[in-house]
Structure 1
Amino acid sequence: MFFYSVFKTLVGKTVVVELKNDLAIQGTLVSVDQYLNIKLDHVSAVDPARYPHVATLKNSFIRGSVVRYVHLPASAIDTALLQDATRNEPGNR
Protein backbone atom coordinates (compact mmCIF):
# COMPACT_ATOMS: atom_id res chain seq x y z
CA MET A 1 0.00 0.00 0.00
CA PHE A 2 3.00 2.30 0.38
CA PHE A 3 3.56 2.62 -3.36
CA TYR A 4 -0.13 3.34 -3.88
CA SER A 5 0.13 6.29 -1.49
CA VAL A 6 3.26 7.53 -3.31
CA PHE A 7 1.42 7.43 -6.63
CA LYS A 8 -1.56 9.29 -5.12
CA THR A 9 0.75 12.21 -4.30
CA LEU A 10 1.77 12.42 -7.97
CA VAL A 11 -1.71 13.18 -9.34
CA GLY A 12 -1.37 16.14 -11.71
CA LYS A 13 2.30 15.45 -12.47
CA THR A 14 3.71 14.22 -15.78
CA VAL A 15 4.87 10.59 -15.73
CA VAL A 16 6.10 8.09 -18.29
CA VAL A 17 4.54 4.62 -18.16
CA GLU A 18 6.45 1.84 -19.90
CA LEU A 19 4.31 -1.15 -20.80
CA LYS A 20 5.34 -4.78 -21.09
CA ASN A 21 4.97 -4.56 -24.90
CA ASP A 22 7.75 -1.87 -24.94
CA LEU A 23 5.35 1.01 -25.58
CA ALA A 24 6.20 4.04 -23.44
CA ILE A 25 3.43 6.60 -22.90
CA GLN A 26 3.91 10.03 -21.38
CA GLY A 27 1.01 11.88 -19.83
CA THR A 28 -0.46 13.69 -16.85
CA LEU A 29 -1.45 11.35 -14.04
CA VAL A 30 -5.19 11.73 -13.38
CA SER A 31 -5.81 8.83 -11.02
CA VAL A 32 -4.43 5.58 -9.70
CA ASP A 33 -6.15 2.83 -7.73
CA GLN A 34 -5.02 0.14 -5.28
CA TYR A 35 -4.24 -2.24 -8.18
CA LEU A 36 -2.01 0.47 -9.70
CA ASN A 37 -4.35 0.91 -12.66
CA ILE A 38 -3.38 4.28 -14.10
CA LYS A 39 -5.42 6.93 -15.90
CA LEU A 40 -3.49 9.51 -17.96
CA ASP A 41 -4.54 12.68 -19.78
CA HIS A 42 -2.68 14.49 -22.57
CA VAL A 43 -0.94 11.27 -23.62
CA SER A 44 1.78 10.93 -26.22
CA ALA A 45 4.16 8.16 -27.20
CA VAL A 46 7.78 8.60 -26.18
CA ASP A 47 8.72 7.22 -29.64
CA PRO A 48 5.95 8.55 -31.94
CA ALA A 49 7.61 7.26 -35.12
CA ARG A 50 7.39 3.69 -33.83
CA TYR A 51 3.84 4.03 -32.43
CA PRO A 52 1.96 6.52 -34.65
CA HIS A 53 -1.46 5.24 -33.53
CA VAL A 54 -0.88 6.70 -30.04
CA ALA A 55 -0.91 10.22 -31.51
CA THR A 56 -4.69 9.99 -31.88
CA LEU A 57 -5.23 9.37 -28.15
CA LYS A 58 -6.18 12.14 -25.74
CA ASN A 59 -6.39 10.06 -22.58
CA SER A 60 -5.66 6.49 -21.61
CA PHE A 61 -6.51 3.93 -18.97
CA ILE A 62 -3.68 1.47 -18.31
CA ARG A 63 -4.28 -1.74 -16.45
CA GLY A 64 -1.73 -2.25 -13.67
CA SER A 65 -0.83 -5.78 -14.80
CA VAL A 66 0.59 -4.52 -18.13
CA VAL A 67 2.88 -1.90 -16.59
CA ARG A 68 6.59 -2.64 -16.60
CA TYR A 69 7.91 0.66 -15.19
CA VAL A 70 6.61 4.03 -14.18
CA HIS A 71 9.19 6.78 -14.60
CA LEU A 72 8.51 9.42 -11.97
CA PRO A 73 9.73 13.02 -11.84
CA ALA A 74 12.69 13.12 -9.46
CA SER A 75 11.64 16.48 -8.04
CA ALA A 76 8.31 15.04 -6.84
CA ILE A 77 9.73 12.03 -4.96
CA ASP A 78 11.24 11.87 -1.48
CA THR A 79 13.95 9.30 -2.24
CA ALA A 80 15.00 8.97 1.39
CA LEU A 81 11.46 7.98 2.36
CA LEU A 82 11.32 5.42 -0.47
CA GLN A 83 14.65 3.91 0.55
CA ASP A 84 13.56 3.60 4.16
CA ALA A 85 10.26 2.00 3.19
CA THR A 86 11.84 -0.56 0.88
CA ARG A 87 14.82 -1.44 3.06
CA ASN A 88 14.73 -5.11 3.99
CA GLU A 89 16.16 -5.23 7.49
CA PRO A 90 16.55 -8.48 9.47
CA GLY A 91 13.51 -9.10 11.67
CA ASN A 92 11.26 -6.90 9.50
CA ARG A 93 9.57 -9.77 7.72
Structure 2
Amino acid sequence: MLFFSFFKTLIDHEVTVELKNDIQIRGTLKSVDQYLNIKLENISVVQEIKYPHLSAVKNVFIRGSVVRYVHLPAAAVDVPLLEDATRREAANEARKRNEK
Protein backbone atom coordinates (compact mmCIF):
# COMPACT_ATOMS: atom_id res chain seq x y z
CA MET A 1 0.00 0.00 0.00
CA LEU A 2 2.97 2.30 0.48
CA PHE A 3 3.49 2.85 -3.23
CA PHE A 4 -0.21 3.35 -3.91
CA SER A 5 -0.24 6.15 -1.33
CA PHE A 6 2.94 7.59 -2.82
CA PHE A 7 1.50 7.67 -6.34
CA LYS A 8 -1.59 9.47 -5.03
CA THR A 9 0.70 12.37 -4.03
CA LEU A 10 1.78 12.72 -7.67
CA ILE A 11 -1.69 13.51 -9.02
CA ASP A 12 -1.53 16.57 -11.29
CA HIS A 13 2.22 16.09 -11.82
CA GLU A 14 3.73 15.13 -15.15
CA VAL A 15 4.99 11.55 -15.27
CA THR A 16 6.26 9.22 -17.98
CA VAL A 17 4.83 5.70 -18.06
CA GLU A 18 6.87 3.06 -19.83
CA LEU A 19 4.79 0.12 -21.03
CA LYS A 20 5.93 -3.47 -21.39
CA ASN A 21 5.77 -3.06 -25.19
CA ASP A 22 8.41 -0.26 -24.91
CA ILE A 23 6.03 2.65 -25.61
CA GLN A 24 6.68 5.61 -23.32
CA ILE A 25 3.79 7.98 -22.68
CA ARG A 26 4.24 11.32 -20.92
CA GLY A 27 1.27 13.10 -19.42
CA THR A 28 -0.40 14.59 -16.38
CA LEU A 29 -1.32 11.96 -13.80
CA LYS A 30 -5.03 12.26 -13.05
CA SER A 31 -5.73 9.05 -11.15
CA VAL A 32 -4.10 5.84 -9.97
CA ASP A 33 -5.50 2.89 -8.05
CA GLN A 34 -4.07 0.03 -5.99
CA TYR A 35 -3.57 -2.06 -9.14
CA LEU A 36 -1.48 0.74 -10.73
CA ASN A 37 -4.19 1.45 -13.29
CA ILE A 38 -3.30 4.96 -14.42
CA LYS A 39 -5.22 7.77 -16.10
CA LEU A 40 -3.12 10.37 -17.94
CA GLU A 41 -4.30 13.57 -19.60
CA ASN A 42 -2.59 15.82 -22.15
CA ILE A 43 -0.37 12.99 -23.27
CA SER A 44 2.49 12.85 -25.70
CA VAL A 45 4.42 9.82 -26.88
CA VAL A 46 8.16 10.01 -26.25
CA GLN A 47 9.05 8.43 -29.62
CA GLU A 48 6.26 9.96 -31.69
CA ILE A 49 7.97 9.14 -35.01
CA LYS A 50 7.87 5.45 -34.09
CA TYR A 51 4.20 5.58 -32.99
CA PRO A 52 2.49 8.23 -35.17
CA HIS A 53 -0.96 6.66 -34.67
CA LEU A 54 -0.85 7.82 -31.02
CA SER A 55 -0.33 11.51 -31.85
CA ALA A 56 -4.10 12.12 -32.01
CA VAL A 57 -4.70 10.64 -28.54
CA LYS A 58 -4.93 13.17 -25.71
CA ASN A 59 -6.10 11.10 -22.71
CA VAL A 60 -5.37 7.47 -21.87
CA PHE A 61 -6.26 4.84 -19.31
CA ILE A 62 -3.40 2.41 -18.79
CA ARG A 63 -4.02 -0.96 -17.20
CA GLY A 64 -1.54 -1.61 -14.40
CA SER A 65 -0.54 -5.03 -15.73
CA VAL A 66 1.07 -3.45 -18.82
CA VAL A 67 3.17 -0.91 -16.89
CA ARG A 68 6.90 -1.59 -16.77
CA TYR A 69 8.06 1.66 -15.11
CA VAL A 70 6.70 4.99 -13.99
CA HIS A 71 9.33 7.70 -14.37
CA LEU A 72 8.80 10.44 -11.79
CA PRO A 73 9.84 14.07 -11.77
CA ALA A 74 12.80 14.41 -9.40
CA ALA A 75 11.27 17.44 -7.70
CA ALA A 76 8.15 15.46 -6.77
CA VAL A 77 10.03 12.80 -4.81
CA ASP A 78 10.58 13.45 -1.11
CA VAL A 79 13.38 10.91 -0.63
CA PRO A 80 13.65 11.08 3.20
CA LEU A 81 9.90 10.65 3.57
CA LEU A 82 9.88 7.71 1.15
CA GLU A 83 12.83 6.06 2.91
CA ASP A 84 11.14 6.46 6.29
CA ALA A 85 7.88 5.00 5.02
CA THR A 86 9.73 2.06 3.45
CA ARG A 87 11.55 1.35 6.72
CA ARG A 88 8.28 1.44 8.66
CA GLU A 89 6.59 -0.91 6.20
CA ALA A 90 9.53 -3.35 6.34
CA ALA A 91 9.43 -3.30 10.16
CA ASN A 92 5.68 -3.98 10.14
CA GLU A 93 6.16 -6.92 7.75
CA ALA A 94 8.95 -8.34 9.93
CA ARG A 95 6.76 -7.99 13.01
CA LYS A 96 3.91 -9.83 11.28
CA ARG A 97 6.24 -12.69 10.26
CA ASN A 98 7.56 -13.03 13.80
CA GLU A 99 4.03 -13.19 15.24
CA LYS A 100 3.16 -16.26 13.17
TM above 0.5:
yes
Q: Which runs of 5+ in 2 are unaligned?
A: none
1-structure distance, mates of 2:10, 2:76? 7
Q: Counterparts in 2 of 1:30-41, with a 5 A limit?
A: 30-41=30-41
1:22 is displaced (CA, Å) by: 0.2
Alignment correspondent of 2:51: 51
- Quick check: 2:26–2:46 contact (8 Å CA) kept in 1? yes
- CA deviation string 1:30-72 (max 9, x = no partner): 0001111000000110010111111010100000000000000
Q: Which runs of 5+ in 1 are unaligned?
A: none
1:15 is displaced (CA, Å) by: 0.2
1:27 is displaced (CA, Å) by: 0.3
1:80 is displaced (CA, Å) by: 1.9
**Identical-pair percentage:** 63
1:62 aligns with 2:62: yes
Q: CA RMSD in A?
A: 1.6
- The count of aligned residue pairs is 92
What amino acid maps onto 1:42 in structure 2? N
Alignment correspondent of 1:85: 85
3-state SS of the aligned residue for 1:35? Answer: coil
